[in-house]
Amino acid sequence: MSGRLGGTLAVITGAARGIGRATATEFAAEGADLVLLDVAGDIDGVPYPLGTQSQLDTTARLCGKFGGSVTAVSVDIRNSSRVKEVLAETLDQHGRIDVLVNNAGLVSPSGKPVHEIDDDEWQVMLDVDLTGQFRMMREVLPSMLRRGAGSVVNIASTAGLVGYRHFAGYVSAKHGLIGLTRAASLDYAPKGIRINAVCPGSVYDDPELESVMMAEIARCLDLPAGDSERAFVASQPTNRLVRAHDVARAVLWLASDESRDVTGSVVAVDGGFTVR
Ligand SMILES: NC(=O)c1ccc[n+]([C@@H]2O[C@H](COP(=O)([O-])OP(=O)(O)OC[C@H]3O[C@@H](n4cnc5c(N)ncnc54)[C@H](O)[C@@H]3O)[C@@H](O)[C@H]2O)c1
């Protein structure tokens, strides 16, 4: 199979829609075989709809057009035994995992200051956005170690680099994910495994990708519906929102051998937002 990821087996979490779908289709176009994971259902205490089975199937169908193998599986990355089971099945079937894209994430429950956050709200943010990524890495890394090769790309956020008011859970988890990326990159650099993070800025809610995250952030901030895009654009040095496919192409580069000397890096795809 030709392409920048030809002959590569990539596991992508949060693949039902948004950045996960954009990444999956970019990978498929470059020849990757894919295992696409998503919770494909709602989570108690999360106030906006998550990806669905039909959205996950749509991503799989779009990727399948490129001719590689595509498997779509529902898994909640909060569930250690289910994560273990799904990755064991992947290894049984494909014999290898070359790339892990840790993309699944929640942006809320958010929208309040720290003293108003209850234990359950805090727990679900950390459990998905930080511990979920850890669980995925813990299960994938032994097989990468056996082969002496692999690339993990953690999808963090500009919220991993700077603070945002009323998003303490999200900001804490994403800062933690950058810490996990840096620490783990040192553990595995001598073993041929690279671990990097990508920090998207404000990404346009592309209807084709069924993205909803900016709308949910606007709702948490009580921004008037319909006007929120203008508010986010105003804080962008580039005067435009980031496109999910541009994030996906940074992920693709980090997944491929083109970035073979890059590990422990934190790549912002944020239109210059964090430069100021
Ligand atoms: N959209 C943005 O503006 C933006 C900006 C910075 C960072 N990010 C990050 O990019 C990633 C993708 O964001 P998006 O905008 O595509 O969001 P999205 O909500 O459209 O997609 C996230 C996917 O993750 C899945 N998911 C959530 N919890 C899960 C769980 N416990 N187990 C498995 N799957 C789960 C959801 O079902 C959904 O399909 C997230 O980690 C997010 O924090 C997004």
Mean pLDDT on 98-107:
98
pLDDT tens digits for range 211-229:
999 999 999 999 987 788 8
Q: Give the separation between CA 152 and CA 264, rounded to whole angstroms.
A: 10
Q: What confidence category does residue 33 fall into, taking pLDDT thresholds of 50, 70 and 90?
A: very high
pLDDT score, position 1? 64
Ordered DSSP codes for 227-244:
THHHHHHHT-TTSSPBPH
- Measured in Å, residue 206 CA sits from the centre of ligand 1 at 13
pLDDT tens digits for range 104-114:
999 999 999 99
Does position 134 have pLDDT exceeding 90, yes or no? yes
- Measured in Å, residue 11 CA sits from the centre of ligand 1 at 15
Tokens, residue 238: 């580039």
Phi, psi of 208 (to 5 degrees): -65, -25
Q: Give the separation between CA 91 and CA 26, rounded to whole angstroms.
A: 23
Sequence-separated (6 or more) residues with CB below 8 Å from residue 271 = 201, 202, 236, 237, 238, 240, 241, 242
Ligand 1 atom nearest 212 alpha carbon: 20
Establish whether residue 110 lines the binding site of ligand 1, counting it when its CB lies within 6 angstroms of any ligand atom. no
pLDDT tens digits for range 144-199:
999 999 999 999 999 999 999 999 999 999 999 999 999 999 999 999 999 999 99
Q: How many CB atoms lie within 10 A of CB 32?
A: 31
- Measured in Å, residue 129 CA sits from the centre of ligand 1 at 9
- CATH domain 9-266 topology: Rossmann fold (3.40.50)
Active-site position among 48, 164, 170, 204:
170
Establish whether residue 34 lines the binding site of ligand 1, counting it when its CB lies within 6 angstroms of any ligand atom. no
Contact (Cβ atoms closer than 8 angstroms) between residue 129 and residue 177: yes
Which strand (E) or helix (H) includes residue 201?
none
Phi, psi of 14 (to 5 degrees): 65, 40
Contact (Cβ atoms closer than 8 angstroms) between residue 223 and residue 235: no
Kindly tell me the burial class for residue 187, based on how many C-beta atoms sit within 10 Å of its own C-beta (0-12, 13-18, 19 or more): exposed
Establish whether residue 202 lines the binding site of ligand 1, counting it when its CB lies within 6 angstroms of any ligand atom. yes
Question: Could you give the count of Cα atoms lying within 13 Å of 4 in the half-sphere of its Cβ?
Answer: 18
Question: Could you give the count of Cα atoms lying within 13 Å of 241 in the half-sphere of its Cβ?
Answer: 15
Instruction: Report CA torsion sign: 213, 215, 218, 220.
Output: negative
What angle separates helix 18-29 from helix 53-64, to the nearest 10 degrees?
A: 20
Establish whether residue 132 lines the binding site of ligand 1, counting it when its CB lies within 6 angstroms of any ligand atom. yes
Q: Give the separation between CA 7 and CA 30, rounded to whole angstroms.
A: 10
Instruction: Report CA torsion sign: 127, 104, 8, 69.
Output: positive
Atom 37 of ligand 1: nearest residue by CA position: 51
Establish whether residue 214 lines the binding site of ligand 1, counting it when its CB lies within 6 angstroms of any ligand atom. yes
If we measure between CA atoms, which residue out of 208, 261, 250, 270 comes closest to residue 27? 250
Q: Which of residues 230 and 12 earns the better pLDDT score? A: 12
Establish whether residue 105 lines the binding site of ligand 1, counting it when its CB lies within 6 angstroms of any ligand atom. yes
Ligand 1 atom nearest 158 alpha carbon: 6
- Measured in Å, residue 45 CA sits from the centre of ligand 1 at 16
- Measured in Å, residue 69 CA sits from the centre of ligand 1 at 23
Is 170 catalytic? The answer is yes
Distances (CA, A) of 246 to 50, 87, 162, 270: 22, 28, 21, 10
Mean pLDDT on 10-38:
99
